[in-house]
Structure formats: C-alpha cells, structure tokens
Amino acid sequence: MVHISDGVLGPWLWESGWVITAVILAYALSKMKTDDVPKLSVITAAVFVASLIHMQVGPTSVHFILNGFAGVMLGILAFPCIFVALVLQCFLFGHGGVTTIGINTVNMGVPALIAYLIFKTGTKLDIRPETKNKVTLFGAIAGGLGVAIALLFLATELITTGEQFYETTVLVVTAHIPIIAIEAIFTGVLAGFIATVKPEMFGKK
C-alpha cells in the first residue's frame, strides 16, 4: 500500500509529486559520475527486489522499502535509485499507478535523502573500521527513519484525500511498524560491516 494506485489522490497532489520528482531527479543526475553507476545499479536492484516481497495484512500488504538503506549508501543518488525501482515495479508488476509514480517517488525518495543527511551528520562521513560503532548506530537510525517518514508522508496524503481512508491509513501504518525495526537493524548492521571491510563504498557524497 506504500505504492499509491491511480485514482486514489486528487490531480493537484499527484501532479505536484511529478513536479517535485522532476526537480530533484534533475539535480541528482547532474551530480552523478560514471564511477557511481555500478553501485547505483546494485542498490537499485536491491530496492526493486525487496519491494516485491509482500506479506498480506488484511486488505493491505506490507513489504520492505530499503529507502533509508539507499540513502545511507547512495546519498543524493538514492532518489533516482528509487525512481527507477518504482517505474520497473509499476510497469512490470503493476505495483502502484502510472500517474502516481511521481508522488510515490517523493514519498520514498525524500525520506531517503533525509536518512542520508542524518547519517552524514552523525558520522561526518568518517567511515573506517575504528568508527564502526558510530556508523552502525546512525545507519540504524537512518534506516528506521527512512521508512517512518515515508509512512508519515503516505498517511498525510491519504488523510488529506478523504475520511474514507482513515481506517486504511491506520492499518497501513500499524502493519509497517515491524518493518521500521527490521530495516533499522538491517541498515545499521550492514553499514557497520561495510565500514569494517570496505569503507570506501560510502564515498564522499
């Protein structure tokens, strides 16, 4: 349900999503270098696959997002990563609508950028084996908040759309609480591991 379908939101909302997505996407791509492509491709594939693992909860479904993880690993490039993953999920598997790709990218991409800023501020991008504990801590915070903020965005949009979405909103948010914890642990552990074995993967984004 994190993927909003066509016809759910008013035109002003999903059109605004496309505008915001276009602006951030253009800026992010202007910062991309050729050396970034391999890592961007791998993380995009991870986000794409993770979101395909759905667990049914009542009338909705729960799935992993990994937007916080993408933010930690890619920085500003997490936004095009999530955009590409959402486009593929939409056209290949029908997850989310075509008109709402923009707002769905905002919902997951902007929290990824916030997660990166939290990680960057906490670690000062001083990534090396000696700072593993700090990297793990702020990786976990970033991973959890990436999902939490995405849910906040989604809930706000659904509630703004109409009262008929109140119950659905509560169900979706409640069902994703375990996902917040799991992704926090996953991102923290993996960030700490990478800081130990290959710290240069983080780069200076």
Confidence of residue 143 (pLDDT cuts 50, 70, 90): very high
pLDDT in tens, 43-78: 999 999 888 777 766 555 678 999 999 999 999 999
Which amino acid is located at 33 in the chain?
K
**Predicted pLDDT at 94:** 84
Report yes or no on whether pTM surpasses 0.75.
yes
pLDDT of 36 strictly over 60:
yes
Most confident by average pLDDT, 47-56, 85-94, 108-117: 108-117
Cα 116–Cα 117–Cα 122 angle in degrees, nearest 5 = 100
**Residues above pLDDT 70, as percent of the chain:** 95
Mean of all residue pLDDT scores within the chain: 91
166: confidence class by pLDDT, cuts 50, 70, 90: confident
Which comes out higher in pLDDT, residue 204 or 9?
Answer: 9
